[in-house]
């Protein structure tokens, strides 16, 4: 917010400034000082530097496991060196994480804190896995990777909130498993479940099949409930939403399509900020196109094709599992959401919404 006091002509000599003028002058000085402080902060670009373990899964040497190196994260770039003494020399590797795919591989009970990256390079999409030692280290590096994938650095105001959100999710998992090594607080007393409690109504069948017994699952549900029962209804809903948003591939919608000149069907995922071509056998990402790099898109209603023009290439495909109008509405709707301001009092631009979802993207 900026306040500017404008005067059409110099203030006449004579009367002393009244209280309103003095308060406006003081406000202007305070805002100028705050702006100067913000500019000073931006000159100091945040940086992460630490020893981490890494692995390139698709390389022949991957069977040897993780290697240790010194990593530096600055702006949108990740670099790594043999040791910290080599920081001023050429790095062993250097990546821009803008547009990359970031997914967690975490098991708090096993002390496993890994970050899976799928980085766009000249050779195509490159797999890269970072292994952190602690929850705190994981939260900071994971938050930096997520922001960089969206084209934002750690100087962005959302970085601290991203770190805290990741820590809160880890804390929930830690409490659910009965292990919270970073906290000395006592665990909440378990909740007594009703006698007719049916675990099948609360837990996915794939977890029911893996569990030792339904009694063990009921105990985990009771423990998890104990950790949130002190929250208000609104706080519980917000915590649920944050945990849901932190899940891998959150908000991804899948469609089977056939690309132009393609011989077989492909799987694509439409997310809030990107379009992803995926492997139909294992769900791995093959290529990512960011909406931020999109110039325009067009729907050919006669042949039911979508043509999308990006900065570096054009793609065209025909949806097979749904009407092209559905895919078009997802793309246009997500772009509309990214253009919305965080201000709650922002007026809904219905004309823009219908333009983006109605077929004239």
DSSP string, 94-130: EEE-TT-EEEEEEEGGGTEEEEEEEEEETTEEEEEEE
On the question of pLDDT at 266 being above 70, the answer is yes
Give percent of the chain with pLDDT exceeding 90: 26
- pTM attached to this predicted model: 0.57
When mean pLDDT is compared across 65-69, 145-149, 247-251, 269-273, the lowest value belongs to: 247-251
On the question of pLDDT at 245 being above 70, the answer is yes
On the question of pLDDT at 5 being above 50, the answer is no
81 compared with 230, residue with greater pLDDT = 81
DSSP state of 359: T
230 compared with 148, residue with greater pLDDT = 148
182 compared with 313, residue with greater pLDDT = 313
Q: What is the mean pLDDT of the chain?
A: 79
pLDDT of residue 214: 81
pLDDT of residue 3: 43
> CATH: 3.40.50.300, 3.40.50.1100, 3.40.50.150, 2.30.29.30. Which one for 47-171?
2.30.29.30
On the question of pLDDT at 61 being above 50, the answer is no
- The per-residue pLDDT for range 71-97, each reduced to its tens digit, is 999 999 999 999 999 988 999 999 899
- The per-residue pLDDT for range 100-148, each reduced to its tens digit, is 888 888 888 788 899 999 887 766 678 899 999 999 999 999 999 999 9
pLDDT of residue 241: 82
Other Cβ atoms closer than 10 A to 327? 23
Residues 6 or more apart whose CB falls under 8 angstroms from that of 334 comprise 270, 271, 272, 273, 291
pLDDT of residue 257: 95
Instruction: Looking at mean pLDDT, say which of 18-22, 26-30, 108-112, 336-340 comes out highest.
Output: 108-112
On the question of pLDDT at 186 being above 80, the answer is no
Mean pLDDT of 200-224: 82
CA neighbours closer than 13 Å in the CB half-sphere of residue 198: 3
What is the second-level CATH architecture of the domain 253-357?
A: Roll (2.30)
pLDDT of residue 1: 41
* Residue 267 bridge partners (DSSP): 256, 278
Candidates 139, 93, 138, 141; CA nearest to 119 is 93
Q: Band of the pLDDT at 185, cuts 50, 70, 90?
A: very low
Rounded distance between C-alpha atoms, residue 153 and residue 76, angstroms: 6
- The per-residue pLDDT for range 150-180, each reduced to its tens digit, is 888 999 888 999 999 898 888 877 765 554 4
201 compared with 182, residue with greater pLDDT = 201
Q: Residue 102, class by beta-carbon neighbours within 10 Å (0-12 exposed, 13-18 middle, 19+ buried)? A: buried
């Amino acid at each position: 917010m900026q306040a500017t006091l404008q005067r059409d002509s110099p203030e006449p000599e004579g009367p002393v400034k009244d209280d309103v003028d003095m308060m406006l002058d003081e406000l202007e000085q305070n805002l100028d000082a705050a702006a100067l402080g913000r500019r000073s902060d931006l000159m100091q670009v945040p940086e992460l530097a630490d020893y981490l373990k890494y692995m390139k899964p698709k390389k022949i040497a991957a069977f040897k496991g993780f290697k240790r190196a010194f990593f530096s994260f600055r702006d949108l770039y990740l670099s790594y060196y043999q040791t910290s003494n080599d920081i001023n020399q050429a790095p062993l590797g250097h990546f821009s994480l803008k547009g990359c795919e970031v997914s967690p591989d975490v098991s708090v009970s096993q002390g496993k804190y890994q970050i899976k990256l799928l980085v766009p390079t000249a050779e195509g999409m490159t797999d890269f896995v970072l292994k952190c030692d602690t929850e705190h280290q994981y939260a900071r590096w994971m938050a930096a990777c997520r922001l960089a994938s969206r084209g934002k650095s750690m100087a962005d105001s959302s970085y601290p909130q991203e770190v805290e959100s990741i820590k809160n999710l880890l804390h929930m998992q830690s409490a659910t498993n009965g292990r919270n090594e970073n906290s000395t607080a006592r665990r909440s007393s378990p909740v007594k479940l009703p006698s007719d409690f049916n675990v099948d109504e609360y837990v996915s069948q794939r977890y029911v099949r893996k569990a030792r017994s339904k009694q063990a699952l009921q105990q985990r549900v009771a423990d998890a409930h104990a950790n949130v029962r002190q929250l208000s209804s609104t706080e519980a809903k917000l915590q649920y939403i944050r945990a849901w948003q932190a899940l891998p591939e959150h908000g991804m919608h899948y469609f089977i399509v056939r690309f132009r000149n393609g011989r077989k069907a492909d799987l694509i995922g439409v997310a809030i900020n990107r379009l992803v071509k995926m492997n139909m056998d294992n769900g791995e990402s093959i290529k990512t196109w960011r909406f931020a790099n999109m110039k325009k898109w067009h729907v050919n209603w006669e042949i039911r094709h979508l043509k999308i023009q990006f900065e570096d290439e054009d793609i065209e495909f025909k949806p097979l599992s749904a009407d092209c109008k559905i895919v078009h509405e997802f793309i246009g709707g997500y772009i509309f959401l990214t253009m919305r301001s965080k201000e709650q009092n922002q007026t809904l631009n219905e004309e823009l919404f219908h333009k983006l979802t109605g077929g004239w993207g």
